[in-house]
Structure 1
Amino acid sequence: MISTDNIGALVGSTVIGSDGDKIGTVGQVYVDPDTGRPNWITVRTGLFGMRESFVPLDAAEQTGDDIRVPYSKDFVKDAPNIDHEGALEEDETDNLYSYYGGGSAGYSRTADDDRGADTNGTVGHDTSGPNTDDAMTRSEERLHVGTEKVQTGRARLRKYVVTENQTVTVPVTREEVRIEREPITDANVGDALSGPDISEEEHEVILTEERPVVAKETVPVERVRLDKETVTENETVTGEVRKEEIEFDDETTRTDRR
């Protein structure tokens, strides 16, 4: 049985499921308008508590700051999705009781004043937990960008043989026969008359020429190696981040007197 002594203190309490695991925290408390007894709570679930599911308090027990309910976390999360801003309508309570198994009744949410005022007179409620002070914390996500090394490819040296034609001009010499005739003079008349008057005679001259000779040799021309260098460049990274904004609603009615 949930105590009615301080209903506002239930907000922010931890809700424990039937398996002993934490389901979430109490976001709001709904009371029976006739008896004033709390009969429904909304439980904030999810990673950031963005979802609120209705849970009946008929079979709930309060142990210290915890509220134990006879339902599992998954069962509570799958409860009918009902707007928790405002009073519960009859058809909404019927759907909830049909899901959890029970009767039907009309309920209204606790007034803001029931959520408690501290001893210093500060009125407020931290929706992420029980009342602490008169301020709320605004948070936002930040991008933390780092680098990692990944393999992008391989580079290797490979040597292969290519055959090509090379033309080189080489000067060569050759001997050719040339006939020289000289007249009979006093200087050579002796040589001319030294043989028989009439005879047959042959003279032979050996001719030579140069021919190109091709020889090949292998010589080293250069050395090639693989090396790496580090190149630094700027790269733009885009990511989505969330942040909380705080709005101020002033519903105070003032009457100016003159």
Structure 2
Amino acid sequence: MPIDSSTSIDALRAATVTSADGSKIGKVAEVYLDDHSDQPEWVTVKTGLFGSSETFVPLSTASYLGDEIRVPYTKEQVKDAPRTDADGTLSPQEEERLYEHYSLGGSGAQDLQAGTTTTTATGRLGEWSDSRDDDASGRAGGRDTQGTRGTVGHDTSGPTTDDAMTRSEERLHVGTQVRESGRARLRKHVVTEEQTRQVATSHEELVVTREPITEANRGAATAGPELSEEEHEVVLHEEVPVVSKHVEAVERVRLGTRTEQDTQTVSADVRKEEIDLDADSAVTTGSGEGDRHHSRHA
């Protein structure tokens, strides 16, 4: 059966694209709608190794059978289609290249010849009823609705956004934390050193004294034999240094800490987002010349 507004978008998203002979081309990734009719016009098909690439396939010549979308093209022809970013919108130039690849005249080519002005929409619509309401409101005031219906942006990462893009950046926050930097201990051990002191000492020396005999000492001198041998002994004394030791406390030692303040310089790489405008001259100048209808993300 042909694919039109009665076909569920969810069903198309869950379908598999096959060639005319029934060979599998790939799973459907996304569905794109026509801006004027809100009819499904394109699907992207996952191709390549592990489905890493997406290729656009037209639905104007396709039929929906069960859970398959059958197209009159070979897998090689689909894989060789012009590469286009699946960013939510097909530009007129991108559609023209796809029409030429699939040998289709395309309604867009007729619009260019007729010089019609169409509404440019970049919004991503998820339901049929919403797309019709938005399309009706966009055309209520005439064809010149650029910026009215297209105020909802589409983030290529998936979620629908409002009319503004948020720019974020990393900020560097610097603080301090306490960590262990080292340990110190007090240990006591015994060492031996030599000390020298001066000590005053005395000693006895022999002194020989000769006295003449006088009347005073004559008696003591002649008390013994007249002639004899005799020995007289004298004991000498002296002082010698004596060393003694005792232990006494001399000081107390404690181990503590104190805090010193200094300044250190740190650096780190931070990331930030930058927003650039990427638009052709027709969009930036507001010119309507050469406008054609194009497809948007469903």
Return the TM-score normalized by structure 2.
0.45
How many residue pairs get aligned? The number is: 188
CA contact (8 A) 1:30 1:41 kept: no
Partner residue of 1:149 out of 170, 178, 184: 178
Partner of residue 240, structure 1: 269
Q: CA 1:179/1:150 → structure 2, altered by over 3 Å: closer, same or farther?
A: same
Q: How does 1:96-107 map to 2 (within 5 A)?
A: none
CA distance in 2, matches of 1:189, 1:240: 122
Q: Which has the higher contact order (CA 8 A, sep 6+)?
A: 2
Displacement of 1:154 in angstroms is 2.4
CA distance in 2, matches of 1:199, 1:171: 43
CA distance in 2, matches of 1:106, 1:216: 118
Partner of residue 228, structure 1: 257
Partner of residue 242, structure 2: 213
CA contact (8 A) 1:29 1:41 kept: no
Displacement of 1:150 in angstroms is 2.3
CA distance in 2, matches of 1:106, 1:211: 131
Partner of residue 162, structure 2: 132
CA distance in 1, matches of 2:224, 2:243: 49
- Report sequence identity in percent: 45
Q: How does 1:12-91 map to 2 (within 5 A)?
A: 37-40=41-44, 54=54, 84=85, 87=94
Residues 65-104 of structure 1 show CA distances to partners (whole Å, capped at 9, x for unaligned) of xxxxxxxxxxxxxxxxx7727859x9xxxxxxxxxxxxxx
CA distance in 2, matches of 1:165, 1:249: 91
* Partner SS for 1:40: strand
CA distance in 2, matches of 1:211, 1:234: 66
CA contact (8 A) 1:174 1:210 kept: yes
* Partner SS for 1:113: coil
Q: CA 1:253/1:126 → structure 2, altered by over 3 Å: closer, same or farther?
A: closer
Displacement of 1:141 in angstroms is 0.8
Is the counterpart of residue 115 in structure 1 residue 142 in structure 2?
Answer: no
Q: CA 1:4/1:142 → structure 2, altered by over 3 Å: closer, same or farther?
A: farther
CA contact (8 A) 2:122 2:153 kept: no
Q: CA 1:226/1:220 → structure 2, altered by over 3 Å: closer, same or farther?
A: same
More helix as a share of residues:
2
Residues 142-196 of structure 1 show CA distances to partners (whole Å, capped at 9, x for unaligned) of 1223333222332222111212232323222111112133455777667656766
Which amino acid is the alignment partner of residue 140 of structure 1?
Answer: E
Displacement of 1:214 in angstroms is 1.5
CA contact (8 A) 2:43 2:57 kept: yes
CA contact (8 A) 2:44 2:54 kept: yes
Partner of residue 170, structure 1: 199
Which runs of 5 or more residues in structure 2 are unaligned?
Answer: 15-29, 47-51, 59-82, 105-117, 124-133, 139-144, 288-298
Displacement of 1:227 in angstroms is 0.8
Q: CA 1:197/1:225 → structure 2, altered by over 3 Å: closer, same or farther?
A: same
Q: CA 1:230/1:53 → structure 2, altered by over 3 Å: closer, same or farther?
A: farther
CA contact (8 A) 1:4 1:37 kept: no
CA distance in 2, matches of 1:191, 1:37: 163
* Partner SS for 1:165: coil
